[in-house]
């Protein structure tokens, strides 16, 4: 009797934990550059877990391509922005960040940064046209019966599409300037007395003058974002929906914010329960260095080595600029 009772109990426990599992159907908002490179390993992992992944891919992109062999599906959409326009905008940004910025005062630098941001925003809104203003694409996406939308909010429009498709929205974000999106849209508390604004160059140990500067930094960034970014996106959303619409309010409906950092990498600041730290989520196990690279590293001596990277846009730097960078790096004792 005891054996039979134990057998019955064991079978009941097994049945209770072996309920059939079904993978999700995930739609992914388009990205570009390093954002796409970092996202791909995450999508591969989702597929390994049994999920189906479909990625929105624009007809003009430097890194995304529906012809690229992969394990996830692609949903292509047409855009009116040419690849040449994208490359020209990147070239101007690189020139600004590598050369012009050292010869500008703070106001000149800010004005140039705003000009570049506006060009990028206008291009992104044209990309958005290709999705939300295409009846064919929207029809296919509705028929796709997706379970959630995964997006990097750096590329606007995912929140609008999530509302159109009535999908849960998951954001993946490193940070926004002065934590503008996190504070206003994600409702994240950020007291300026001890939470330094992102890109302010301050720490959480501030004297009175630094706290005043941090307060002003938040205020200036909020004003700039309002009259450049939010005003443009609000107008687009309002025109599309036919009624006044706040893009930040739509963004605030995101179910989860995945922050691509670790809590111990940043200064202490409050977070909400729907904010999750996922720093290194795109990383893979390290591999041994190629033989020639290993020999290079081992021959560096006591000075060591310096790893220099221009990120995903290395192909956009001219030979002249590359030689200038190489000449500068040649002056340090380390191998580079």
User: Each residue of 202-218: pLDDT tens digit?
Assistant: 898 999 999 999 999 99
Predicted confidence at residue 3, as pLDDT, reads 52
Instruction: Average the pLDDT over 110-129 and give the result.
Output: 86
Q: Are 121 and 229 in contact (CB under 8 A)?
A: yes
Predicted confidence at residue 309, as pLDDT, reads 81
68: left (phi over 0), alpha (psi -120 to 50) or beta: beta
Predicted confidence at residue 215, as pLDDT, reads 94
pLDDT of 87 above 60: yes
pLDDT of 11 above 50: no
- Which has the higher per-residue pLDDT, 313 or 152? 152
Predicted confidence at residue 21, as pLDDT, reads 53
Instruction: Average the pLDDT over 84-90 and give the result.
Output: 78
pLDDT of 15 above 60: no
Predicted confidence at residue 96, as pLDDT, reads 67
Q: What is the pLDDT of residues 243-287, one digit of tens each?
A: 999 999 999 999 999 998 887 788 888 889 999 988 888 888 889
- Which has the higher per-residue pLDDT, 94 or 17? 94
How far is 120 from 162, CA to CA, in rounded Å? 22
Most confident of 35-49, 106-120, 313-327: 35-49
Q: What value does the mean pLDDT of the chain take?
A: 86
Contacts of 142 (CB under 8 A, 6+ apart): 165
Predicted confidence at residue 247, as pLDDT, reads 95
Predicted confidence at residue 2, as pLDDT, reads 46
Predicted confidence at residue 98, as pLDDT, reads 63
Predicted confidence at residue 80, as pLDDT, reads 87
Least confident of 169-178, 276-285, 315-324: 315-324
Least confident of 10-19, 48-57, 89-98, 198-207: 10-19
Helix (H, G, I), strand (E, B) or coil at 308: coil
Predicted confidence at residue 23, as pLDDT, reads 82
Token pair 């995964």 is found at 150
Q: What is the pLDDT of residues 222-235, one digit of tens each?
A: 998 898 899 999 99
119-149 CB burial, b ≥16 within 10 A, e <16: ebbebbbebbbbbbeeeebeeebeeeebebb
Q: Which residues pair with 75 in a beta bridge?
A: 56
Residue 159 DSSP symbol: H
- Read off the tokens for 235: 């107008």
Residue 277, class by beta-carbon neighbours within 10 Å (0-12 exposed, 13-18 middle, 19+ buried)?
middle
pLDDT of 102 above 80: no
- Per-residue DSSP letters for 239-255? HHHTS---HHHHHTT-S
pLDDT of 320 above 50: yes
Share of the chain above pLDDT 70, in %: 89
How are the residues of the chain apportioned to helix, strand and coil, as percentages rounded to the nearest 5? Answer: 50, 10, 40
pTM over 0.85: no
What domains does the chain contain, in order, with CATH numbers?
21-277 (3.40.50.2000), 291-330 (no CATH)
Residue 227 DSSP symbol: I
């Amino acid at each position: 009797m005891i054996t039979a009772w134990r057998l019955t109990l064991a079978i009941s426990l097994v049945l209770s934990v072996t309920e059939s599992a079904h993978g999700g159907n995930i739609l992914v908002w388009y990205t570009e550059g390093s954002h796409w490179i970092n996202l791909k390993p995450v999508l591969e992992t989702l597929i390994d877990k049994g999920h189906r992944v479909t990625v929105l891919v624009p007809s003009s992109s430097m890194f995304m391509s529906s012809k690229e062999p992969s394990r996830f599906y692609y949903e292509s959409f047409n855009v009116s922005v040419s690849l040449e326009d994208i490359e020209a905008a990147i070239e101007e940004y690189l020139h600004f960040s590598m050369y012009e910025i050292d010869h500008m005062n703070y106001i000149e630098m800010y004005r140039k940064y705003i000009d570049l941001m506006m060009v990028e925003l206008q291009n992104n809104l044209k990309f958005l046209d290709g999705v939300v203003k295409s009846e064919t694409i929207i029809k296919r996406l509705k028929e796709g019966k997706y379970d959630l939308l995964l997006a990097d909010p750096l590329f606007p429009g995912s929140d609008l599409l999530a509302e159109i498709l009535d999908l849960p929205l998951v954001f993946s974000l490193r940070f926004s300037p002065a934590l503008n999106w996190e504070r206003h849209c994600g409702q994240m508390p950020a007291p300026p007395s001890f939470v330094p604004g992102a890109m302010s160059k301050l720490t959480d140990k501030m004297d009175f003058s630094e706290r005043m500067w941090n307060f002003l930094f938040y205020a200036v960034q909020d004003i700039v974002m309002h009259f450049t970014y939010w005003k443009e996106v609000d107008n687009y959303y309002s025109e599309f929906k036919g009624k006044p619409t706040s893009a930040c309010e739509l963004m605030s409906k995101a179910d989860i914010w995945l922050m691509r950092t670790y809590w111990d990498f940043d200064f202490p600041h409050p977070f909400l329960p729907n904010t999750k730290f996922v720093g290194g989520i795109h990383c893979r196990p390290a591999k041994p260095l190629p033989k020639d690279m290993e020999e290079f590293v081992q021959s560096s001596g006591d000075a060591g080595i310096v790893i220099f990277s221009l990120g995903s846009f290395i192909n956009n730097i001219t030979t002249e600029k590359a030689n200038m960078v190489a000449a500068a790096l040649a002056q340090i004792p380390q191998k580079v």
